[in-house]
Amino acid sequence: MSRTLRILIIAAVGWCVIAILGWAVAKVFHGDHGQVRWTAVDVTDKDRAGDAHLLELPGGKVWMIDAGNKDLWQRSGKPILVERDIDRIHGFVLTHGHRNHFEGLLELVLTGTKVDAVYYTPPGDEVCKTEPWPGGCRIEHLRRLEQELKKAGVEVIAATPGEVLFDDDGVKLTLQHQFNQNPFAGESAFTVNNTSIITLLEAGTTRVLFPGDIGTIIGTYLSQDPDAIDVDIVVAPHHGVAQMTPNSYFDAITPDVFIATMPASLWPTSRAGQLRKYAKQRTLPVYVSGLHGDITVEIDDDGYRVSTQRTPPKNDPARP
């Protein structure tokens, strides 16, 4: 072997070593391909439930799905943004017009957090007026929200089912469904909950479903969908309490894990009985924000890992 050839071989080996080291360093400091950190922020208290989901996506993009009541977002959500140095939300999905889903968004805007766009379809005035929950939908509250978003220069975009909101590095966020009226024409009353945007997060082989507060009507309708998508994790509709979707919906999407955004006080009651019984029969874990605090799910090419803010007791009532 000539001296020149030996030098070329040594140089080639050297460059390979450098490339491998560079890949290893990038993996350590930047995470696996398509890595996602999803935090289900605990915006519950003694008797209030709420949703607030923070999604940290590839490319430094930050999305949110709902943000809970104002005071509970201030207590639990705002410190997370400060700790993680997040001052911009690139996209926000407001599932429906209830205060325990939109007040935190209003607080974000009023306190100067930059929000680029909000995907939201307001409920019709008649649907709002016939709201069975006295503290739920108020037209004047929704008008104020819309005014403040406009004043802050936030683009408000009506939900279009099937629209892909984010698609990068193996991660996709899609508006899967949204109903403005009862799909079963002429049947029972259509509530604000049933107007919820249903959002699907896909990262690698992991699928997560955020169904808002859809109830019996939409759950029954979607359970008949022959193209229903199997998911790994589902946020229990309507916080996992009464008026949740029927079990046929869960049978259609076959989740492996439930996240329930309810107060700890509700978990052992009859209002959460459907979810408790379903999960127990199928030995599925349930993480309850009121019991476990903030729930963090890290997703990468190897799957997902769930961790909780509070260490559950040995006899954790939310485990199967």
Residue 36: what pLDDT? 98
Give the tens place of pLDDT for each residue, 55-101.
999 999 999 999 999 999 999 999 999 999 999 999 999 999 999 99
Q: Which residue has the higher pLDDT, 129 or 231?
A: 231
Q: Which residue has the higher pLDDT, 122 or 133?
A: 122
Work out whether strand 286-288 and strand 155-157 pair parallel, antiparallel, or are unpaired. Answer: unpaired
DSSP summary character for residue 74 = I
Question: What does pLDDT average to over the chain?
Answer: 89
Q: Which residue has the higher pLDDT, 20 or 234?
A: 234
Give the tens place of pLDDT for each residue, 111-131.
999 999 999 999 888 888 777
Name which of 119-128, 185-194, 200-209, 292-301 the model is least confident about: 185-194
Q: Is the pLDDT of residue 17 over 50?
A: no
Cα–Cα distance, 240 to 249 (Å, whole number): 13
E-strand ranges in the chain read 36-40, 52-56, 62-67, 88-89, 91-93, 114-115, 117-119, 155-157, 164-168, 171-177, 198-203, 206-210, 233-235, 257-260, 286-288, 295-300, 303-308
CATH number of 32-308: 3.60.15.10
Q: Is the pLDDT of residue 156 over 90?
A: yes
Q: Is the pLDDT of residue 18 over 80?
A: no
Mean pLDDT of the 139-168 span: 95
Give the tens place of pLDDT for each residue, 250-271.
999 999 999 999 999 999 999 9
What are the residue boundaries of the structural domains of the chain, listed by start?
Answer: 1-30, 32-308
Give the tens place of pLDDT for each residue, 28-43.
444 444 589 999 999 9
The phi and psi torsions of 43 (rounded to 5 degrees) equal -110, 55
Q: Is 299 left (phi over 0), alpha (psi -120 to 50) or beta?
A: beta
The phi and psi torsions of 214 (rounded to 5 degrees) equal -55, 145
Residue 185: what pLDDT? 77
